[in-house]
Amino acid sequence: MTVRVPEGVDAGAVWHYGDPLREQKALEAGRAGVDLSHRPLFTVGGADRLRWLNDITSQDFASLAPGTPTVAYILDAQGHLTHVFGAVDDGATLWCHTEPGRRDALVAWLRRMIFAARVEVAELGADHALVLPPGSTTGPVIVPAAEVEAVLGDTRAGTWAMEAVRIASGTPRIFLDTDERTIPNELANPSGDLLGLAVHLRKGCYPGQETVARVFNLGRPPRRLALLHLDGSAERLPTLGADVLLEGRPVGRMGTSERHHELGPVGLALLKRTVPVDAALEVDGVAASQEALVDPESGLHWRPEPGLGRA
Protein backbone atom coordinates (compact mmCIF):
# COMPACT_ATOMS: atom_id res chain seq x y z
CA MET A 1 0.00 0.00 0.00
CA THR A 2 1.37 3.40 -1.00
CA VAL A 3 -0.08 6.49 0.70
CA ARG A 4 0.92 9.90 -0.59
CA VAL A 5 1.12 13.21 1.25
CA PRO A 6 -2.25 14.91 0.64
CA GLU A 7 -1.26 18.55 1.13
CA GLY A 8 1.54 20.90 2.13
CA VAL A 9 5.00 21.39 0.64
CA ASP A 10 5.53 17.64 0.19
CA ALA A 11 2.13 17.01 -1.44
CA GLY A 12 2.32 14.05 -3.81
CA ALA A 13 5.40 12.48 -2.21
CA VAL A 14 5.10 9.01 -0.68
CA TRP A 15 4.01 9.51 2.94
CA HIS A 16 4.27 5.86 3.90
CA TYR A 17 3.93 2.33 2.53
CA GLY A 18 1.45 1.09 5.13
CA ASP A 19 3.61 0.84 8.28
CA PRO A 20 5.34 4.17 9.04
CA LEU A 21 6.72 3.12 12.42
CA ARG A 22 8.35 0.01 11.00
CA GLU A 23 9.66 2.12 8.14
CA GLN A 24 11.33 4.44 10.66
CA LYS A 25 13.13 1.49 12.23
CA ALA A 26 14.29 0.27 8.83
CA LEU A 27 15.48 3.76 7.90
CA GLU A 28 17.46 4.14 11.13
CA ALA A 29 18.97 0.70 10.61
CA GLY A 30 20.15 1.68 7.13
CA ARG A 31 17.91 -0.83 5.35
CA ALA A 32 15.40 1.52 3.70
CA GLY A 33 15.65 4.01 0.85
CA VAL A 34 13.51 7.14 0.47
CA ASP A 35 12.08 8.52 -2.77
CA LEU A 36 12.59 12.30 -2.75
CA SER A 37 11.78 12.91 -6.40
CA HIS A 38 9.31 15.66 -5.44
CA ARG A 39 12.21 17.95 -4.53
CA PRO A 40 13.31 20.34 -7.31
CA LEU A 41 16.80 20.09 -8.81
CA PHE A 42 19.22 22.39 -10.60
CA THR A 43 22.88 22.53 -11.57
CA VAL A 44 25.61 25.15 -11.37
CA GLY A 45 28.31 24.77 -14.02
CA GLY A 46 31.24 26.80 -15.27
CA ALA A 47 34.86 27.28 -14.30
CA ASP A 48 34.09 29.94 -11.66
CA ARG A 49 31.18 28.14 -9.96
CA LEU A 50 32.86 27.27 -6.64
CA ARG A 51 34.71 30.55 -6.17
CA TRP A 52 31.53 32.44 -7.09
CA LEU A 53 29.34 30.49 -4.66
CA ASN A 54 31.96 30.94 -1.97
CA ASP A 55 31.48 34.71 -2.28
CA ILE A 56 27.68 34.78 -2.11
CA THR A 57 26.68 31.94 0.24
CA SER A 58 27.36 30.97 3.85
CA GLN A 59 29.30 27.84 2.88
CA ASP A 60 32.99 27.29 2.07
CA PHE A 61 32.81 26.24 -1.56
CA ALA A 62 36.40 27.28 -2.34
CA SER A 63 37.77 24.12 -0.72
CA LEU A 64 34.88 21.78 -1.56
CA ALA A 65 36.23 18.45 -2.79
CA PRO A 66 34.45 16.52 -5.56
CA GLY A 67 31.97 14.01 -4.18
CA THR A 68 31.58 15.79 -0.84
CA PRO A 69 27.96 16.75 -0.05
CA THR A 70 27.32 20.17 1.44
CA VAL A 71 24.50 22.54 2.42
CA ALA A 72 24.49 26.30 1.93
CA TYR A 73 22.36 29.21 3.07
CA ILE A 74 21.81 32.47 1.22
CA LEU A 75 21.23 35.31 3.67
CA ASP A 76 20.01 38.86 3.28
CA ALA A 77 22.05 41.83 4.47
CA GLN A 78 20.62 41.43 8.00
CA GLY A 79 21.58 37.75 8.19
CA HIS A 80 18.06 36.34 7.71
CA LEU A 81 17.70 33.04 5.86
CA THR A 82 16.28 33.57 2.37
CA HIS A 83 17.37 30.45 0.44
CA VAL A 84 18.87 27.03 1.13
CA PHE A 85 20.20 24.24 -1.06
CA GLY A 86 22.05 20.97 -0.78
CA ALA A 87 24.76 20.15 -3.30
CA VAL A 88 27.59 17.87 -4.40
CA ASP A 89 30.23 18.71 -6.99
CA ASP A 90 31.54 16.16 -9.49
CA GLY A 91 34.57 18.18 -10.55
CA ALA A 92 32.80 19.90 -13.43
CA THR A 93 29.24 20.58 -12.24
CA LEU A 94 27.55 21.25 -8.90
CA TRP A 95 24.36 19.17 -8.59
CA CYS A 96 21.83 20.85 -6.30
CA HIS A 97 18.42 20.33 -4.68
CA THR A 98 16.20 22.64 -2.65
CA GLU A 99 12.81 22.79 -0.96
CA PRO A 100 9.62 22.22 -3.01
CA GLY A 101 8.28 25.46 -4.40
CA ARG A 102 11.53 27.34 -3.79
CA ARG A 103 13.66 26.60 -6.86
CA ASP A 104 12.38 29.32 -9.17
CA ALA A 105 13.11 32.15 -6.73
CA LEU A 106 16.50 30.66 -5.82
CA VAL A 107 17.60 30.15 -9.42
CA ALA A 108 16.44 33.66 -10.35
CA TRP A 109 18.47 35.13 -7.50
CA LEU A 110 21.57 33.15 -8.46
CA ARG A 111 21.32 34.26 -12.07
CA ARG A 112 21.09 37.90 -11.01
CA MET A 113 24.37 37.49 -9.13
CA ILE A 114 26.44 36.05 -11.98
CA PHE A 115 27.64 39.32 -13.53
CA ALA A 116 30.96 38.52 -15.30
CA ALA A 117 31.56 35.14 -13.63
CA ARG A 118 31.91 32.06 -15.82
CA VAL A 119 28.85 30.36 -14.36
CA GLU A 120 25.74 28.71 -15.76
CA VAL A 121 22.67 27.84 -13.69
CA ALA A 122 20.17 25.37 -15.17
CA GLU A 123 17.00 23.68 -13.90
CA LEU A 124 16.79 19.89 -14.11
CA GLY A 125 13.64 18.17 -15.32
CA ALA A 126 12.06 14.75 -14.85
CA ASP A 127 15.10 12.98 -16.31
CA HIS A 128 16.79 13.19 -12.89
CA ALA A 129 15.52 12.59 -9.35
CA LEU A 130 16.65 12.90 -5.75
CA VAL A 131 16.77 9.75 -3.63
CA LEU A 132 18.15 8.69 -0.26
CA PRO A 133 19.86 5.33 -0.83
CA PRO A 134 19.63 2.65 1.88
CA GLY A 135 22.44 3.01 4.40
CA SER A 136 23.61 6.37 3.07
CA THR A 137 25.85 8.28 5.48
CA THR A 138 26.21 11.32 3.24
CA GLY A 139 22.59 12.18 2.50
CA PRO A 140 20.46 12.09 -0.66
CA VAL A 141 21.90 11.88 -4.17
CA ILE A 142 20.73 12.96 -7.62
CA VAL A 143 20.49 10.07 -10.07
CA PRO A 144 19.09 9.55 -13.58
CA ALA A 145 15.35 8.82 -13.39
CA ALA A 146 15.91 5.41 -14.99
CA GLU A 147 18.08 4.39 -12.00
CA VAL A 148 15.72 5.40 -9.19
CA GLU A 149 14.19 1.99 -8.58
CA ALA A 150 17.55 0.24 -8.51
CA VAL A 151 19.08 2.82 -6.14
CA LEU A 152 16.12 2.72 -3.74
CA GLY A 153 16.13 -1.06 -3.44
CA ASP A 154 13.28 -3.27 -2.25
CA THR A 155 12.87 -1.81 1.25
CA ARG A 156 11.33 1.66 1.24
CA ALA A 157 10.46 4.33 3.79
CA GLY A 158 8.17 7.30 3.23
CA THR A 159 8.50 10.93 4.17
CA TRP A 160 6.70 10.29 7.48
CA ALA A 161 9.61 8.10 8.56
CA MET A 162 12.24 10.49 7.23
CA GLU A 163 10.65 13.51 8.89
CA ALA A 164 10.25 11.73 12.23
CA VAL A 165 13.92 10.72 12.23
CA ARG A 166 15.00 14.21 11.18
CA ILE A 167 12.96 15.94 13.88
CA ALA A 168 14.15 13.55 16.59
CA SER A 169 17.75 14.31 15.58
CA GLY A 170 17.16 18.04 16.07
CA THR A 171 17.75 18.94 12.43
CA PRO A 172 15.63 21.91 11.28
CA ARG A 173 14.04 22.08 7.86
CA ILE A 174 14.45 25.56 6.44
CA PHE A 175 11.19 27.44 5.69
CA LEU A 176 9.19 25.00 7.84
CA ASP A 177 11.10 25.19 11.12
CA THR A 178 12.17 28.77 10.38
CA ASP A 179 10.47 32.05 9.49
CA GLU A 180 11.43 35.34 7.84
CA ARG A 181 13.27 36.49 11.00
CA THR A 182 15.48 33.42 11.43
CA ILE A 183 19.24 33.86 11.53
CA PRO A 184 21.58 30.82 11.42
CA ASN A 185 22.72 31.38 15.01
CA GLU A 186 19.29 30.28 16.24
CA LEU A 187 19.63 26.80 14.73
CA ALA A 188 21.51 23.61 15.48
CA ASN A 189 22.32 20.27 13.89
CA PRO A 190 22.64 16.70 15.23
CA SER A 191 26.26 17.25 16.35
CA GLY A 192 25.22 20.23 18.47
CA ASP A 193 27.16 22.68 16.31
CA LEU A 194 25.75 26.14 17.03
CA LEU A 195 25.37 27.28 13.44
CA GLY A 196 24.71 23.96 11.80
CA LEU A 197 26.57 22.47 8.86
CA ALA A 198 25.59 25.21 6.40
CA VAL A 199 27.63 28.11 7.83
CA HIS A 200 31.40 28.44 7.62
CA LEU A 201 32.90 30.94 10.06
CA ARG A 202 36.47 30.97 8.81
CA LYS A 203 36.10 32.30 5.29
CA GLY A 204 35.74 35.69 3.65
CA CYS A 205 32.75 37.99 3.59
CA TYR A 206 29.37 37.10 2.11
CA PRO A 207 25.92 38.70 2.43
CA GLY A 208 24.74 38.52 6.05
CA GLN A 209 28.17 37.46 7.36
CA GLU A 210 28.51 40.50 9.63
CA THR A 211 25.35 39.61 11.57
CA VAL A 212 26.31 35.94 11.91
CA ALA A 213 29.83 36.76 13.13
CA ARG A 214 28.69 39.50 15.51
CA VAL A 215 26.07 37.34 17.21
CA PHE A 216 28.47 34.40 17.40
CA ASN A 217 31.32 36.48 18.82
CA LEU A 218 29.60 38.98 21.07
CA GLY A 219 25.99 38.23 21.78
CA ARG A 220 23.28 35.66 22.17
CA PRO A 221 20.71 34.91 19.45
CA PRO A 222 17.22 36.24 20.17
CA ARG A 223 15.71 32.76 19.78
CA ARG A 224 16.87 29.17 20.05
CA LEU A 225 15.79 25.93 18.42
CA ALA A 226 14.29 23.35 20.79
CA LEU A 227 13.02 19.80 20.47
CA LEU A 228 9.53 19.55 21.93
CA HIS A 229 8.26 16.31 23.44
CA LEU A 230 4.52 16.52 22.91
CA ASP A 231 1.74 15.01 25.00
CA GLY A 232 1.20 11.55 23.56
CA SER A 233 -2.44 11.42 24.66
CA ALA A 234 -3.37 14.14 22.17
CA GLU A 235 -5.05 12.82 19.05
CA ARG A 236 -3.44 15.37 16.74
CA LEU A 237 -0.16 17.13 16.16
CA PRO A 238 0.23 20.92 16.50
CA THR A 239 -0.34 23.14 13.50
CA LEU A 240 2.76 24.36 11.69
CA GLY A 241 3.42 27.97 12.67
CA ALA A 242 1.23 27.89 15.80
CA ASP A 243 2.23 29.97 18.83
CA VAL A 244 4.10 28.16 21.58
CA LEU A 245 2.69 29.34 24.91
CA LEU A 246 4.18 29.71 28.37
CA GLU A 247 1.48 30.39 30.97
CA GLY A 248 -0.75 31.60 28.15
CA ARG A 249 1.82 33.98 26.66
CA PRO A 250 3.35 33.42 23.19
CA VAL A 251 7.06 32.61 23.54
CA GLY A 252 7.83 30.85 20.28
CA ARG A 253 6.85 29.46 16.91
CA MET A 254 5.96 25.81 16.25
CA GLY A 255 7.71 24.12 13.35
CA THR A 256 7.38 20.57 12.06
CA SER A 257 6.12 17.67 14.15
CA GLU A 258 5.67 13.93 13.67
CA ARG A 259 5.13 10.70 15.57
CA HIS A 260 8.39 8.88 16.30
CA HIS A 261 8.50 5.13 16.88
CA GLU A 262 10.38 5.50 20.20
CA LEU A 263 9.93 9.07 21.39
CA GLY A 264 6.28 9.43 20.50
CA PRO A 265 5.09 12.77 19.10
CA VAL A 266 7.97 15.25 18.76
CA GLY A 267 8.43 18.61 17.08
CA LEU A 268 10.83 21.49 16.58
CA ALA A 269 10.15 25.03 17.74
CA LEU A 270 11.92 28.37 17.81
CA LEU A 271 11.63 29.75 21.35
CA LYS A 272 12.66 33.03 22.90
CA ARG A 273 16.14 32.62 24.33
CA THR A 274 14.93 33.61 27.80
CA VAL A 275 12.37 30.78 28.11
CA PRO A 276 13.58 28.50 30.94
CA VAL A 277 14.65 25.13 29.54
CA ASP A 278 12.54 23.31 32.14
CA ALA A 279 9.39 25.34 31.52
CA ALA A 280 6.17 23.49 30.74
CA LEU A 281 4.79 24.71 27.42
CA GLU A 282 1.61 24.39 25.40
CA VAL A 283 1.13 24.58 21.65
CA ASP A 284 -2.16 24.39 19.80
CA GLY A 285 -3.77 22.85 22.87
CA VAL A 286 -1.08 20.18 23.27
CA ALA A 287 1.17 20.11 26.37
CA ALA A 288 4.90 20.00 25.67
CA SER A 289 8.24 19.75 27.43
CA GLN A 290 11.43 20.89 25.78
CA GLU A 291 14.93 19.66 25.08
CA ALA A 292 17.39 22.47 24.37
CA LEU A 293 19.30 22.19 21.08
CA VAL A 294 20.98 25.61 21.26
CA ASP A 295 22.54 26.73 24.53
CA PRO A 296 20.49 29.70 25.86
CA GLU A 297 23.70 31.18 27.24
CA SER A 298 25.77 30.77 24.09
CA GLY A 299 28.05 33.76 23.79
CA LEU A 300 28.55 34.41 27.50
CA HIS A 301 31.22 31.76 27.97
CA TRP A 302 32.83 31.96 24.54
CA ARG A 303 35.82 34.05 23.46
CA PRO A 304 36.48 34.65 19.76
CA GLU A 305 39.52 33.14 18.17
CA PRO A 306 41.78 35.54 16.26
CA GLY A 307 40.28 36.21 12.85
CA LEU A 308 37.16 34.12 13.43
CA GLY A 309 34.25 35.47 11.46
CA ARG A 310 36.31 38.18 9.81
CA ALA A 311 36.98 38.76 6.17
Are residues 16 and 50 part of one domain?
yes
> Which parts of the chain register pLDDT below 70?
188-197, 298-311
Q: Are strands 33-35 and 156-157 parallel, antiparallel or unpaired?
A: parallel
Total domain count, the chain: 2
Are residues 249 and 223 part of one domain?
yes
Residue at which a domain ends, from 109, 143, 169? 169
- Residues spanned by the domain of 55: 1-169
Q: Are strands 128-132 and 81-89 parallel, antiparallel or unpaired?
A: unpaired
Are residues 285 and 243 part of one domain?
yes
SS3 per residue for 114-152: CCCCCCEEEECCCCEEEEECCCCCCCCEEEEHHHHHHHH
Rounded Cα distance between 185 and 279, Å, is 22
For residue 309, being part of any structural domain is answered with no
257's CB contacts (< 8 A; 6+ apart) are: 167, 228, 230, 237, 238, 240, 265, 266, 267, 268
At residue 298, the pLDDT reads 62
For residue 301, being part of any structural domain is answered with no
At residue 85, the pLDDT reads 96
159-169 and 20-28 helices cross at what angle (nearest 10)?
60
Residue 271's CATH number = 3.30.1360.120
User: Rounded to 10 degrees, what is the CA torsion of 12, 43, 194, 254?
Assistant: -20
For residue 43, being part of any structural domain is answered with yes
Are residues 44 and 15 part of one domain?
yes
Give the DSSP H or E segment for 230.
Answer: strand 223-230
Helix extents (H) in the chain:
20-28, 49-56, 103-112, 148-152, 159-169, 209-218
Cβ–Cβ under 8 Å, residues 201 and 185: no
Are residues 99 and 15 part of one domain?
yes
For residue 310, being part of any structural domain is answered with no
At residue 196, the pLDDT reads 52
Our CA angle for 109, 132, 88, nearest 5°, is 45
Confidence (pTM):
0.91
Are residues 7 and 92 part of one domain?
yes
Burial 145-161 (b: 16+ CB within 10 A, else e): eeebeebbeeebbbbbb
For residue 304, being part of any structural domain is answered with no
For residue 307, being part of any structural domain is answered with no
